[in-house]
Amino acid sequence: QVQLVESGGGLVQGGGSLRLSCAASGRTFRNYAMGWFRQAPGKERELVAAISWGGSSTYYQDFVKGRFSISRDNAKNTVYLQMNSLKPEDTAVYYCAMGYSIATLQQAHISGSWGQGTQVTVSS
């Protein structure tokens, strides 16, 4: 049973930065692609960024390109999301998830369960 624990969220002013972390346990982390999703109030959960199992391939939604960066450390079973130039519309609960590939994460097909998420609030 995969266990994911997100951390690093908080309240930040517009234009600021945050770095989210997601620690995984209970499964062979390095065999899976990883993704960061977010869900704003009243909206569906959406994929923000994803990274392949080895880290050589990444995917970003257009609305975060140039501002967010996803990375992973397989030795630490951890995936990161560096968020710069934050905007109020980035306010959401952010979740990480495992998947067989970036393509499956793009279809919101995840392996295992969601973590508890971490709240990101960006003030204007």
Rounded to a whole number, what is the distance in angstroms from the first to the last CA of the chain?
40
CB atoms within 10 A of CB 33: 27
pLDDT band of 115, cuts 50, 70, 90:
confident
Q: How far is CA 74 from CA 31, 86, 119, in A?
A: 9, 27, 24
Please determine, for residue 27, whether its predicted confidence score (pLDDT) is greater than 80: no
Taking only the tens place, the pLDDT of each residue in 62-75 is 999 999 999 999 99
Taking only the tens place, the pLDDT of each residue in 28-72 is 888 999 999 999 999 999 999 999 999 999 999 999 999 999 999
Q: Which helix (H) or strand (E) holds 36?
A: strand 33-39
pLDDT of residue 64: 97
